[in-house]
Structure 1
Amino acid sequence: MNTDPAEVFRTRVARHAALADPARLHIVDLLTLGDLSPTELQAELGMPSNLLSHHLRTLESAGLTTRHRSEADKRRSYIKLAPGALEGLMPRAEHGVRRVLFVCTRNSARSQLAAALWSHVSDIPSTSAGTHPADRIAPGAVDVARRHGVALSDLPPRLLDQVAHDEDFVVTVCDNAHEEIPGLGGIHWSVPDPLRLNTADAFEGAFADIARRISDLAPRLHAA
């Protein structure tokens, strides 16, 4: 982290300048909740693709956003806020919800970790489910949760249709689940699947990514 006062000030100036444009501020407001592909942003904003590309380049240059390829459809990319991009600038709680439902494909790692982490920072109930649930929770998820003192649910992986309620605030934490059920609603976090590498480092990375996102989301929600 750069601690030079002059450089920190220049970074702040660049970020404020980037956010001074109404369209870019709207993009960032959307990204404070979840990741979006350029196509999804274009549909949300009703903006020509060339103008959207200009705004996205400006936000990336200011260090506000990053971009990476989808693990499901390699032709698709997702835009997300850079870690710490809006420290001290996050909006206040504005969404009243009854329960948060975290969804991934197999409900064996990312969604299980997300639901467990959520219970540590919010009184709003949470649960998790999968579009194609596995037989058991991944050992790597159990291990990383234990290392961080987080207790996972005693429930085995469960099917989304058997868990979801109409009033749930849905958070997909898996590109495959998000793209398989585009009408699911809610928000999306493009968290890389730790089971692809199935290493301790991969699970640590997923845990840290989810924990940061939950810390950002929790202040935005209040009990309905």
Structure 2
Amino acid sequence: MTEIFAVERRAAMHAALGDPVRLAMVDDLILGDRSPGELGAVFALSSNLLAHHLKVLEDAGLITRPRSEADRRRSYVQLVPGVLDGLTPTPPTPGTAERVVFVCTHNSARSQLAAALWQRRSPLPAASAGTQPAARVHPRALSAARRHHLRLQAHATAHIADTVRPGDLVVAVCDNAYEHLPARPPLHWSVPDPVPADTDDAFERAYIDLAGRVDRLATALTQPRPLRGHPAP
């Protein structure tokens, strides 16, 4: 019975992805989350048609639509973690970048963990920053980093204005930063903030979410080649 259920679930996913628009929407969501309005604009869909496509994808278990932690009136569309394993869609590419900068509000947890994960996963440089940086990294973020053999410095927080430079790919890893930055970052990861819960489990969930996203982005992102005779700094 379990095997039959698994086959039926896979069949429903393939059926949902059989529409070119829905397949393109899922491809778009591999590297980052979008609001329904953003998806509608990207794919030139009316509100009724967008709602239809999102319902099909949601019913098939491919997406979820969590509420923004910043503006509760907003929601974001995101892929269910691991749902595409074995389905092998083609991820979009964000192009090239000289560095990846992960941004959240306080630069005390999610952005710090994301940058540390990136440094372990990719040769491309990484940094992290906050829109309102705290004085230090959250103790539970430091504990999570130690559990997973990542290196974080307790007082190494930074402001986005002092960090981002031309050539960087900015990834907002929280809703608040994404919604309040004057220039929207090209990538947004709607990762729940573990700080309000203040438990090791909450920080572990954030770590797992970030690890999967970092892995997908690292696979897709490339570093620009330096001109001959001018090595990269």
1:168 corresponding residue in structure 2:
168
CA–CA distance in structure 1, aligned partners of residues 6 and 166 of structure 2: 45
CA–CA distance in structure 1, aligned partners of residues 30 and 184 of structure 2: 19
1:81 corresponding residue in structure 2:
79
Higher Rg of the two aligned structures? 2
- Structure 2: stretches of 5+ with no match in the other structure: 225-233
Q: Is the 8 A contact 2:170 2:185 kept in 1?
A: yes
Q: Name the SS for the 2:66 alignment partner.
A: strand
1:213 corresponding residue in structure 2:
213
Deviation at 1:196, TM superposition (A): 1.2
- 1:133-190 per-residue CA deviation (whole Å, 9 max, x = no partner) reads 1111111100111111111247611010111012111110010000001523320000
CA–CA distance in structure 2, aligned partners of residues 221 and 131 of structure 1: 25
Residues 1:177 and 2:181 are matched in the alignment: no
Q: Name the SS for the 2:166 alignment partner.
A: coil
> Which of 27, 30, 37 is equivalent to 1:32?
30
Q: State the AA in 1 paired with 2:176.
A: N
Residues 1:156 and 2:156 are matched in the alignment: yes
Deviation at 1:12, TM superposition (A): 2.2
CA–CA distance in structure 2, aligned partners of residues 72 and 91 of structure 1: 31
1:66 corresponding residue in structure 2:
64
CA–CA distance in structure 2, aligned partners of residues 54 and 64 of structure 1: 14
2:9 corresponding residue in structure 1:
11
Structure-1-length-normalised TM-score: 0.93
Higher helix share: 1
Structure 2 counterparts to residues 97-116 of structure 1, below 5 A = 97-116=97-116
CA–CA distance in structure 1, aligned partners of residues 153 and 90 of structure 2: 30
Q: Name the SS for the 2:205 alignment partner.
A: helix
CA–CA distance in structure 1, aligned partners of residues 41 and 196 of structure 2: 31
- Structure 1: stretches of 5+ with no match in the other structure: none
Q: State the AA in 2 paired with 1:57.
A: K
- Of 158-167 and 8-17, deviating more is 8-17
Deviation at 1:216, TM superposition (A): 2.0
Q: State the AA in 2 paired with 1:216.
A: R
CA–CA distance in structure 1, aligned partners of residues 131 and 123 of structure 2: 26
Deviation at 1:193, TM superposition (A): 0.9
Structure-2-length-normalised TM-score: 0.89
Q: Is the 8 A contact 1:93 1:219 kept in 2?
A: no
1:127 corresponding residue in structure 2:
127
Q: Is the 8 A contact 1:96 1:221 kept in 2?
A: yes
Q: State the AA in 1 paired with 2:101.
A: L
Higher strand share: 1
1:91 corresponding residue in structure 2:
90
Q: State the AA in 1 paired with 2:185.
A: G
1:118 corresponding residue in structure 2:
118
Aligned length: 222
CA–CA distance in structure 1, aligned partners of residues 44 and 12 of structure 2: 26
CA–CA distance in structure 2, aligned partners of residues 4 and 153 of structure 1: 46
Q: State the AA in 2 paired with 1:130.
A: G
1:52 corresponding residue in structure 2:
50
Q: State the AA in 2 paired with 1:26.
A: A
